[in-house]
Chains A and B, each alone.
Chain A
């Protein structure tokens, strides 16, 4: 029996350094202007999984990502860094899923990979920003959860010890498996790509990607079947479509506003003694201070 770890990873637009062109005039997000990246805390999650794999020969790390066809990049990126394989959950019927519908779909995919020991996700994705998918997936799988992990000091066949980063400190817990873990950004950074693995997996493709290739990969794939990245659709997951997408999502986005600068009339002054003297006088007189 192998020790199986499933890592959940999401492809996200890089919302951290958003430029002027990132928002369309109507207030919606111009995804084309933002690079698609591996969600940062999911890289921390992958690293914690790979550290267990470093210690255990029987450990297998499988990455699951749900998203459009191009999210297959996440599976490849994870394999370049040490994951054994991965699956892309993709179907137009998933579009518009809130966290409840997302975790329903992800939990069905996880169940297809039973028996597993750990489901490790990031704490939070930098686009939806909810931090809800990890705990909700755990609930759907009916397994316990340990959130905000930053270190895994001990793993045995039967239990795992996890250090959690909380607002006010550190808590260490001991938990049985199977278990869901969400990983905090204070966990170690993910290792870089391994050159050997990059060579090994650079031709890994999903069926959809292969269809768009001009080169014929048939021969290569016969020799190296591990290059095939499987896509799982609603049918493969035997999902109830009513529980997916918009119909399976109790939350509705009623309105979206771009955060624009509410320009105030700012009084600009210099650092001269006179200006600052006047400002402090003003503030005292208007009882803002003093």
Chain B
């Protein structure tokens, strides 16, 4: 069987993006299950020693395409290079981040290769499939599990016939795990000059205003998330006070972001980040399905809500019926009283 490939993104700080490291971690497990190799594709400018960042995740081969004009990302040069590698290596599975870049690139590649692509997967695992029509048995297909229909359904998608089996996965869904700090793979340099043509550079970037993502809530063990029920930006400060004493990060629902109570980077849910902390405290959040999609894997959930019937309470371990303005100061007070 052929190998598993992960497309690695380069951040504004010129390092491999977290989402790619997460996918490498997942890819490593999948590769070991199938007894195949894990390969990475890195495309950019001035990529000296980039392999050192990814080998510890268990990468066996990294394809490095290093050339001027390959950073920042643009669609056509990156897709030309990935296509060339895929045509040659014929991956069994190819995984991309469900990011601005991955969702721009992966569909273009899938279309050119005429293979199936599953968007925004929340889980990848192997399973078998029997096709009644053709009486064919398929072993170890990639089950690509994803929400659709505005998060109201979860679909399991398979690609029985076409290869690679392609999927995009959102940041924070897979866990980043170093396999072995000393793991060493092989570097294969891509001959970019043989692939790239002038016509790949017709779309030119003329201006960029990027922020290196400063807010990063998804690695936090404890998250205090606020919703529309928090009521105001001022009340949101209470959440920060609690976060400070607990060493937590503050998250938000979309309604809270839309109301201007919090920054977009803190949004949790289907169109925000996915988090799985040890403790999730939902303050004034009703628990819409799109919100739960980003937090229902939390180990423990506390809901603070004035409404006993708020859907979030159904997935909470503890529900405190009350107003956040009353409850949060008390939580701070009794945390301080009980901890040494």
Write the residues of chain A forming the contact surface with B, with a CB cutoff of 8 angstroms. Answer: 13, 15-16, 18, 22-23, 27, 29, 98-100, 103, 126-136, 138-140, 144-148, 161, 166-176, 249-259, 261-264, 266-271, 273, 275-277, 279-281, 283-284, 288-290
Across the two chains, which residue of chain A brings its CB closest to B171?
A167
Indicate if B316 sits at the interface (CB-CB under 8 A): yes
Determine whether the beta carbon of B211 is less than 8 Å from that of A169.
yes
Asked if residues B159 and A99 are in contact (CB atoms below 8 Å), the reply is no
Cβ-defined contact, A269 with B159, below 8 A: no
CB contacts (< 8 Å) of B331 on chain A: these are 276, 279-280
A131 to B148 Cα, complex, angstroms: 11
* Complex interface: chain A residues within 8 A of B119 (CB): 129-132
Interface SS majority for chain B: mixed
Task: Give 16 A-B contacts (CB < 8 Å), ordered by A residue.
Answer: A127-B150, A129-B148, A168-B211, A251-B116, A259-B147, A259-B293, A262-B315, A264-B316, A266-B319, A267-B319, A268-B319, A279-B302, A280-B331, A280-B338, A288-B222, A288-B278
Do A171 and B335 contact each other (CB < 8 Å), given the known contacts A23-B152, A266-B317, A271-B322? no
CB-CB nearest 5 A-B residue pairs: A271-B322, A15-B150, A250-B116, A251-B116, A139-B111
Tell me whether A169 and B208 are in contact in the complex, defined as CB-CB below 8 angstroms, given that A132-B119, A264-B316, A268-B319 are known contacts.
yes
Using CB atoms and an 8 Å cutoff, list the residues of chain B in contact with chain A. 12, 72, 74-76, 99-100, 103-104, 106-108, 110-112, 114-120, 129, 143, 147-162, 202-213, 222, 246, 278-279, 289, 292-293, 296, 299-300, 302-303, 308, 311, 313-323, 326-327, 330-331, 334-335, 337-339
Contact of A18 among B120, B129, B150, B156 (CB under 8 A): B150
Contact of B210 among A136, A169, A288 (CB under 8 A): A169
Q: Are A289 and B315 in contact (CB under 8 A)?
A: no
Known A259-B151, A279-B318, A288-B278; contact A250-B104, beta-carbon cutoff 8 A: no
Rounded to whole Å, the gap between the CB of B54 and the closest CB of chain A is 21
Q: Which of B120, B203, B303, B308 has the most CB of A within 10 A?
A: B203
Q: Which of A103, A139, A276, A281 contacts B330 (CB 8 A)?
A: A276
Complex CA distance for A257 and B202, rounded to whole angstroms: 44
Specify which of B72, B209, B321, B338 is in contact with A268 (CB 8 Å cutoff). Answer: B321
Min C-beta distance of A195 to chain B, whole Å: 31
Name the distance in Å between B93's Cβ and chain A's nearest Cβ: 14
CB distance from B145 to the nearest CB of A (A): 9
Kindly state the separation between the CA atoms of A27 and B320 in the bound complex, as whole angstroms. Answer: 32
Interface SS, A side: mixed
Q: How far is the CA of A108 from the CA of B3 in the complex (A)?
A: 34
Contact yes or no, B114 A250, CB < 8 A: yes
Q: Report the nearest B residue to A278, measured CB to CB.
A: B334
Assembly CA distance A249 to B147 (angstroms): 19
Query: Which residue on chain A has the smallest CB distance to residue B105?
Result: A135
Instruction: Tell me the smallest distance from the CB of A258 to a CB of chain B, in Å.
Output: 6
